[in-house]
Amino acid sequence: APILLWFRRDLRLADHPMLAEAVETGAPLIPVFVHDEVVEGQGAAPRFRLGLSVESLARDLEGIGSKLILRRGRALDSLRALVVETGARAVWWSRAYDPEARARDAEAMEGLDAEGIETRDFTGHLLFEPESVETKTGGYYKVYTPYMKAVRSRDPGDPLPMPARLPAPESWPDSERLDDWRMGRDMRHGADVVARYLTVGEAAARARLGRFVAERIEDYHVARDRPDIEGTSGLSENLTYGEISIRTCYRVALGAREAGAGGAETFLKELLWREFAYHLLHHTPRLITRNWRAEWDRFPWSEDGDSQEATAWKRGRTGMRFVDAAMRELYATGRMHNRARMITGSYLTKHLMTHWKIGHDWFADCLADWDPANNALGWQWIAGSGPDAAPYFRVYNPESQLDKFDPDGAYQRAWIAEGQADPPRTACDFLDAAPRRWRLSADMPYPDPIVGAAEGRDRALAAYKGRDS
């Protein structure tokens, strides 16, 4: 009897523990992707990007004699129907860690188990399973550095090879058509623009890793902070959908470190930030939904996502060039440089005194590399409400940060069209991608800051001092 292989955030063939073990059984395999309640709940850009990834996996599966069956509906119902149609004896998947996916998986497991269908979940999304890393007293880590020290000497094992062929069933069940799902349906104007900036699929992800190690890892530790140059790997959009395994990236970086590449150590540590985010999310799912430290519940943050200030922030019209360039980069490309994520996050939560949840949710709608763990950890870190966080009183100055990290002004020129006689393609792309009702154009004046660097800092610090009184 066949085994159903339920693909979710593991959209690759190489270093795929579930797939490798499934091939070993010799049973016919039926790969399936379900447009389920979790996919339904995703933001516009992540769902659009996911659709491209599913399309790529479907092609890759055909290349090894298989087929990706597409179904839409509640996960348990869709899987149950497929089991009946195919006579499958088992449903396997790769483990997920965020609360929504966990709830979905628990329901699927319970429902299928009750009918005598074997269910199994596999590793593959992380280097180390969250519960396999414990403090000396048997607890979980709340701070990155000790976590990193606890895992850095561990061996995650070697990546598994890509299967040459998947055993096919005698007949295939019906599949829906990906086009009918209109995965980019909420992107409005942006889909075509954003698509130009994406690098989709397993082969492209591998090539990207190879290029990064050949050309950029050497200087990564210095170049990674500069939003005006391509100093990082860009792998987040691939890692989040599992188009490449974290273990493959980690192994390759270990090799580069052994070969003496200057930035390899820093790169390895960044990969472990992702690992830490998942460790923390697994142990404290509230990382996504609430202030991790409850004392922040009393802080006078604005929770109005449509306030004038929050709106200016989302549209890249705060009058702070670093913030605006970054918010436009996000909207046009589905990506944002890490330093820029920190600056925009700091400006929103400190200068604009707006709750990090509003920024978190906007990122979750716009980021093609949206990752439930990394996004939540990033926001709680920058807001100061997380377990291991920048203290709230450390307020980034968006003006001096721009002088430091965009010394030639290339980043701001790339994204801010106003005031430029002949704005570059990137800045025009943003204007093309922005909804018409935002009424933006290259020849409107660039705004004055809605909240100035010094004024915002003073206001935030006064609120911080007064928070307990």
When binding is defined by CB under 6 A, the residue of 93, 128, 278, 370 that contacts ligand FAD is 370
Say whether residue 367 binds ligand FAD (CB under 6 A): yes
- Rounded to whole angstroms, how far apart are CA atoms 376 and 292? 10
- Rounded to whole angstroms, how far apart are CA atoms 233 and 195? 18
Shorter beta-carbon distance to ligand FAD: residue 59 or 149: 149
* Residue 266 in marked binding region: no
Closest Cα partner for 48 from 178, 236, 176, 191? 191
CB contact at 8 A, 85 and 173: yes
When binding is defined by CB under 6 A, the residue of 200, 235, 310, 348 that contacts ligand FAD is 235
Shorter beta-carbon distance to ligand FAD: residue 61 or 366: 366
When binding is defined by CB under 6 A, the residue of 146, 338, 420, 463 that contacts ligand FAD is 338
Q: Which region among 35-43, 149-157, 336-344, 413-421 touches ligand FAD (by CB under 6 A)? A: 336-344
Say whether residue 379 binds ligand FAD (CB under 6 A): yes
Shorter beta-carbon distance to ligand FAD: residue 345 or 449: 345
Bridge partners, residue 302, by sequence = 354
Quickly list DSSP for 210-258. HHIIIIIGGGHHHHTT-TTS--S--THHHHHTTSS-HHHHHHHHHHHHH
81's CB contacts (< 8 A; 6+ apart) are 71
User: For the chain, what is the total number of helices (H) and then of strands (E)?
Assistant: 23, 5
Tokens for 13, please give them: 């063939």
Closest Cα partner for 337 from 367, 301, 308? 367
CB contact at 8 A, 103 and 113: no
When binding is defined by CB under 6 A, the residue of 147, 301, 363, 415 that contacts ligand FAD is 363
Tokens for 181, please give them: 């799902």
User: At closest approach, how far in Å is the CB of 106 from ligand FAD?
Assistant: 24
Say whether residue 22 binds ligand FAD (CB under 6 A): no
Say whether residue 385 binds ligand FAD (CB under 6 A): no
Shorter beta-carbon distance to ligand FAD: residue 309 or 329: 329
* Residue 235 in marked binding region: yes
CA angle 39, 42, 48 (to 5 degrees): 85
Say whether residue 371 binds ligand FAD (CB under 6 A): yes
When binding is defined by CB under 6 A, the residue of 101, 127, 281, 342 that contacts ligand FAD is 342
- Rounded to whole angstroms, how far apart are CA atoms 87 and 90? 9
User: At closest approach, how far in Å is the CB of 3 from ligand FAD?
Assistant: 30
Residue pointed to by tokens 């409400």: 385
Q: Which region among 134-142, 233-241, 347-355, 460-468 touches ligand FAD (by CB under 6 A)? A: 233-241
* Residue number, nearest CB to ligand FAD: 378
User: At closest approach, how far in Å is the CB of 330 from ligand FAD?
Assistant: 10
CB contact at 8 A, 13 and 53: no
Contact characters 238-277, ligand FAD, x per CB under 6 A: -xx-----------------------------xx-xx--x
* Residue 370 in marked binding region: yes
- Rounded to whole angstroms, how far apart are CA atoms 8 and 94? 8
* Residue 236 in marked binding region: yes
How many residues of this chain bind ligand FAD (CB under 6 A)?
Answer: 27
User: CA dihedral defined by 163, 165, 170, 172, rounded to 10 degrees?
Assistant: 70
B/e letters for 388-418, b = 16+ CB within 10 Å, e = fewer, are bbbebeebbbbeebbeebbeeeebbbbbbbb
Tokens for 320, please give them: 């702070």
When binding is defined by CB under 6 A, the residue of 31, 159, 190, 234 that contacts ligand FAD is 234
User: At closest approach, how far in Å is the CB of 326 from ligand FAD?
Assistant: 11
108's CB contacts (< 8 A; 6+ apart) are 75, 76, 79, 91, 119
User: At closest approach, how far in Å is the CB of 244 from ligand FAD?
Assistant: 10
User: At closest approach, how far in Å is the CB of 379 from ligand FAD?
Assistant: 5
When binding is defined by CB under 6 A, the residue of 341, 351, 413, 457 that contacts ligand FAD is 341
Q: What are residue 72's phi and psi, to 5 degrees? A: -125, 135
Residue pointed to by tokens 């930035």: 263
Q: Which region among 34-42, 160-168, 235-243, 283-291 touches ligand FAD (by CB under 6 A)? A: 235-243
Say whether residue 345 binds ligand FAD (CB under 6 A): yes
* Residue 121 in marked binding region: no
Q: Which residues are annotated as a binding site for FAD?
A: 220, 232-236, 267, 369-371
Known binding-site residues equal: 220, 232-236, 267, 369-371
**Where do contacts with ligand FAD occur on this chain (CB under 6 A)?**
224, 232-236, 239-240, 270-271, 273-274, 277, 338, 341-342, 345, 363, 367, 369-371, 374-375, 378-379, 382
